[in-house]
Amino acid sequence: MSTMFLAFVLTWLNIFLFWLSSTVTVASISPRDCLQNSTIASLIDCLNDFTVGPNYYNASSYAAAQPDLTQVDDWMALITSMLDSDTSDCSSITVPASLVSIYAVTLFPDSSSNNTFCVLSEKTSFIDGSNSYYTKGWGVIVVPSSRKKVSHMIHLSAPHPLYDIDE
Ligand SMILES: *[C@@H]1O[C@H](CO)[C@@H](O)[C@H](O)[C@H]1NC(C)=O
Ligand SMILES: *[C@@H]1O[C@H](CO)[C@@H](O)[C@H](O)[C@H]1NC(C)=O
Ligand SMILES: CC(=O)N[C@H]1CO[C@H](CO)[C@@H](O)[C@@H]1O
């Protein structure tokens, strides 16, 4: 079985419009708790619940959720270092100072494939009502921990200029 390269860009400079709260499942846990899941699929399912839905933002809260220019540059450097990861424990990946209070890279053993992955995920969230949402919502990136395990380069991404939903 070949290990595929997985890149989940779930949320990126996004948002607006209609808040369909009745169709969105959300969690009151922290996104850090999701990393206790045992499979990539359940991890992503858990993280999706923190998606900030349509019609949440007003102009000022939308502006507050945007990365500054340093964070944009550091994000690109961080993603590049993830793609170059060639260790068994993600130790070659360093989260830049401008992002370290918001994002973490975690070694994730996937029991469904017996492979290990490096997961870049947001660690900050806020509670609104009985639910928790990402503070920033810039996305989740998952790569095999070692690029030696990559036999096919497949880049999956989902541009979504308006907003995200969690289905
Ligand atoms: C915008 O939304 C934030 C967060 O919900 C809220 O605290 C703030 O009062 C809102 N600002 C305006 C101008 O409505
Ligand atoms: C993962 O390892 C376990 C224990 O060795 C084995 O039972 C299982 O079949 C393996 N799963 C895959 C997808 O290789
Ligand atoms: C499918 C699964 O096990 N999901 C779990 C992922 O982790 C969160 C946080 O611990 C649990 O609430 C989910 O049940």
pLDDT, one tens digit per residue, over 51-65 is 988 888 889 998 999
CA distance 155 to 5: 7
* Confidence (pLDDT) at 68: 97
* Confidence (pLDDT) at 26: 47
Read off the pLDDT of each residue in 152-164 and give the average, rounded to a whole number.
72
**Does ligand 2 lie within 6 Å of residue 1's CB atom?**
no
**Does ligand 3 lie within 6 Å of residue 39's CB atom?**
no
Q: Is the dihedral of CA 48, 14, 95, 131 positive or negative?
A: negative
The residue among 154 and 12 whose pLDDT is bigger is 154
Distance 3 CA to ligand 2 centre (A): 14
Q: How many CB atoms lie within 10 A of CB 138?
A: 24
